[in-house]
Structure 1
């Protein structure tokens, strides 16, 4: 049994108009007209990827993780219940709302609602983006990735690693604890920030074309206070991205060029170079509150000549560019 991908994310918010503009006009998702007090958005051939429910709280409502086989739901439910986690076996009505065939739900040790589902519904019509983009990198890699703030990594690590079979990609201890997990070939579909806090840090969507990110960055820069991290490149997954403040306060990473790994051959390891090769200036931080420290780590990485591999050393990226005739 295995979890294969991040399938969908649900958000609580009473700022539906703001989310409509943000997800549609900035991220480029397709808004689905559902009526009532909720919004849904597509990114590809799946019927929905992002759900925003009209509820107070401005935070994560749930994450949906796809499993390979229907029997995996019962197997995970049994494992979780043996470990003392209460599992909610969802009725058909809830599965219908999520546009999946079957699902189970439960809370992690910090109260974040997780859902495991089987067989998502496909849309009948082609994906039509909310702005002119080349599309999102999804498919078997899933929606993207999601990141949580955590108070106690000692409790959260065994839950996701041992009970849900999330595999450690790498981790860094400076300037704070960062732990990354893969469930497929995407370098990470899930991560935890050991900030001592609780809540949703960000989710990431990956575009098929770097220009889609750059044009989104131009749009975000036109909105006062929208950019949270400037354009930059991460050291572990090689993602070129910027982060935007969402209408609910957490971040959304807009990325391109993320690293793809071979899970069967991957060895977890500690990283010591900091989060980014360059850029990703945290505009929301003060100098004393961590902004200078992170900048110094980037400048040190640059002084040591750290670089991501060239395109020819990234077979998956080279192959994608070759398909596009570049």
Structure 2
């Protein structure tokens, strides 16, 4: 499998000021000034991880998937082309905008825009979070994860699983179809929700401390209507997190303690206990839908379903390492 991590995300939104406040004041990302209509945000030693393009309100602009080398990128491009997927070699100007050595652009069968790249550029100065957090868990695990609303999960499975080589972590069939995929040790870097819609559902970023999440939760509650899912813990990746509404109509998950798996030995399986062990009350949903998820959580609790306490490895964060070394 050539793809090793989710490298970056691009969002098209004219609400650039609102995005800037959310990305910095709440999430703790570092803003990198780019141009009047484009803002970028850092999470680590990479020059950018999140790109906000103010040219339209189209939502998801791109998911950028990382490969290790030029030859891996060429192999992926060749396989896509052999299966009838139109592949465009990125112009030098686009690669420079993405701060990568080279990239290719293509789309999944539903039209979701994707890029694959190698050679990400590193910043010359340390990452400086916009609010006091311990840092983001990135490194070999990538930026985090992205989840798509899709009209038909089965129609996209061959593309992501068989063509791109994403490995199924687990899946659920009720109350809707959910498939989770890993490309490294992060339990999932990508997932699809068979909601009957076509849109980005959410992306997730993981911080290095539960207190980072709790303090972010306090901040989010100061902004009326910001919380979309209350604080809770997921059944499959064991992430403790909350979700917020974004200016673009999808969610961001802000979490800690995500499960790290061994991709070589992991076995895909069906899950039956719903998406959350506790919490994650979906405030944006009608009461009837919220009740279905609540019943699943209460059933799991009544049966004593538990997740193990997280073993959280140290952050792979050059910024944090540099600060620690000075003290």
In which range does the TM-score fall when normalised by the shorter chain?
over 0.9
Deviation by residue 1:271-294 (Cα, 9 ceiling, x = unmatched)? 001000000000001112x10000
How far the C-alpha of 1:75 sits from its partner, in A, is 1.0
Alpha-carbon distance in 2 for matches of 1:19, 1:310 = 34
Deviation by residue 1:60-112 (Cα, 9 ceiling, x = unmatched)? 00010000121111111111111111001111110000000000000111111
Q: CA RMSD in A?
A: 1.4
Deviation by residue 1:3-51 (Cα, 9 ceiling, x = unmatched)? 0000000000001100110001111000001122110000000000000
Answering whether residue 196 of structure 2 is matched by residue 193 of structure 1, we say no
Partner residue in 2 for 1:302: 301
Partner residue in 1 for 2:181: 181
Answering whether residue 52 of structure 2 is matched by residue 41 of structure 1, we say no
Partner residue in 1 for 2:227: 227
Answering whether residue 27 of structure 2 is matched by residue 27 of structure 1, we say yes
Is this contact kept in 2: 1:134–1:207, CA < 8 A?
yes
Matched position secondary structure for 1:214: helix
Partner residue in 2 for 1:236: 236
Answering whether residue 120 of structure 2 is matched by residue 120 of structure 1, we say yes
Give unpaired runs (5+ residues) of structure 2: 316-320
Alpha-carbon distance in 1 for matches of 2:17, 2:130 = 14
Is this contact kept in 2: 1:58–1:249, CA < 8 A?
no
How far the C-alpha of 1:182 sits from its partner, in A, is 0.2
Is this contact kept in 2: 1:14–1:58, CA < 8 A?
no
| Bigger shift: residues 55-64 or 20-29 | 55-64
Partner residue in 2 for 1:291: 290
Deviation by residue 1:107-159 (Cα, 9 ceiling, x = unmatched)? 11111110000010000000000111000000000000000011111221110
Give unpaired runs (5+ residues) of structure 1: none
Partner residue in 1 for 2:318: none
Is this contact kept in 2: 1:47–1:99, CA < 8 A?
yes
Superposition pairs for residues 65-144 of structure 1, below 5 Å? 65-144=65-144
Alpha-carbon distance in 2 for matches of 1:242, 1:162 = 32
Is this contact kept in 1: 2:202–2:252, CA < 8 A?
yes
Point out 4+ residue stretches in structure 1 off by more than 4 angstroms. Answer: none
Deviation by residue 1:225-278 (Cα, 9 ceiling, x = unmatched)? 000000000000000000000111100000000000000000000000100000
Q: What TM-score, normalized to structure 1?
A: 0.95
How far the C-alpha of 1:310 sits from its partner, in A, is 2.9
Aligned length: 317
Is this contact kept in 1: 2:2–2:73, CA < 8 A?
no
Answering whether residue 166 of structure 2 is matched by residue 166 of structure 1, we say yes
How far the C-alpha of 1:58 sits from its partner, in A, is 4.4
Q: What TM-score, normalized to structure 2?
A: 0.95
Partner residue in 2 for 1:155: 155
Alpha-carbon distance in 1 for matches of 2:35, 2:53 = 11
